[in-house]
Structure 1
Amino acid sequence: MLFNIVVGLVIPWMVVLLHLYKKDKALVLLIGTFSSVIGFTVNELAIYYGFWTVAPFVEPNTVSTLPFNLGIYPVLPIYLIYFIKRHGRPHVFIPLMALVTTSLETILVMNGRVVYDNGWHTPHTFLSYLFPYILVYGYYAYLKKPNVLVELESYHGSREGRGEWGQQYKKAACNIVHTAKHLIRGKQALSFPLSFKFLYLVRTG
């Protein structure tokens, strides 16, 4: 399990945090979370139908895939979209990334850390990566079309955006303290809307 954690989770995210996160935070957050959901879905279905198992071979085997679902499976699509964003040519990068990922998994299969069953073979693995990558690119294209990704990047990267968010946090925090004092004294609290706004900012900021 230590191998899965280090290789599948720690190393990929160290690369992203040191290289890409400061360059494109919005891309990391939006593509990473969406890709992680896809990774969980594919692995859950594949293990349920017995197409593959991952070392250590414990029950439930989904525990063994957890570091990969949270690590390398979100990270590779992040870099896929990063390369497409910089160079274009999605018809080249998508199958290329699927081929690279399939090659990495083939190494794990040869080392006995991944075992295929129920008629699953390497070509199926390639397709199991190709279609999710296409789905991730479609998600990125959907965000790009109404400029959601561009606006989010520019807003968080601007001095005005950072200053405005800082003022909202400070104002909402002061209102939470004020509300708590009223509750302690048994008085009616009138600052709940701003308190909830602060909790919303914490969860989405």
Structure 2
Amino acid sequence: MTLNIIIGFIVPWILGLGFIKDKKLMFVFVPLAVALATVTDTIGFNYFWFLQPRFRNASLSALPFNLGLYPIVSCFMLYFISNKGVKAVSSVLVTSVFLTVIEWIFKEFDRVTYFNGWNIFWTFISYVVPAVVLYLYSISFFKFFRKSP
């Protein structure tokens, strides 16, 4: 679990707080990213994968990632779209590939196990869908508050 906490929570927050200049963006979008990650993992742990170490509550091992890596990477995605002018499609794809590669590495080291036909392609899709949802939400948010992404 120590590895999950370091890689999934501590390192992402250090990088996020250090490199994302727009802290308001983090304040607004981290809660939604955490919610999306939690929903995705709850479904996944029940039907498609598990992560080491295994606990009675299977999603506990993903908690550092749900509170750290996923929301911080999502905020980096939105930061590059809204503040650096990166195209949304490119940013969503890079974000999804990055998270998929991290999960693939965990899979190669037997930290993640797939079942019920789950594979790395579906993993990629499971990162694309929340990233798109978060981006679409950000469009509405910025439109409502008169700032375009």
Partner of 1:129: 127
CA root-mean-square deviation:
1.1
How do residues 52-63 of structure 1 correspond to structure 2 at under 5 angstroms?
52-63=49-60
Which has the greater radius of gyration?
1
Partner of 1:178: none
Query: How far has the Cα of 1:147 moved from its partner?
Result: 2.0
Partner of 1:97: 95
C-alpha separation between the residues in 2 aligned to 1:82 and 1:66? 23
Partner of 1:115: 113
TM-score calculated relative to the size of structure 1: 0.69
Structure 2 unmatched runs, 5+: none
Which structure ranks higher in relative contact order (CA pairs < 8 Å, sequence separation ≥ 6)? 2
Aligned residue type for 2:31: T
C-alpha deviations, 1:16-65, integer Å up to 9, x for none? 12222xx212101111111000000000111112x000000221111101
DSSP-derived class of the 2:132 partner: helix
C-alpha separation between the residues in 1 aligned to 2:86 and 2:93? 14
How many residues were matched structurally?
A: 146
What percentage of aligned pairs have identical amino acids? 30
How do residues 17-166 of structure 1 correspond to structure 2 at under 5 angstroms?
17-20=17-20, 23-49=21-47, 51-85=48-82, 86-147=84-145, 150=147
C-alpha deviations, 1:131-189, integer Å up to 9, x for none? 100000011101111226x4xxxxxxxxxxxxxxxxxxxxxxxxxxxxxxxxxxxxxxx
| Deviating 4+ runs (over 2 angstroms) | none
Structure 1 unmatched runs, 5+: 151-205
C-alpha separation between the residues in 1 aligned to 2:89 and 2:38? 25
DSSP-derived class of the 2:144 partner: coil
C-alpha separation between the residues in 1 aligned to 2:122 and 2:115? 12
TM-score calculated relative to the size of structure 2: 0.94
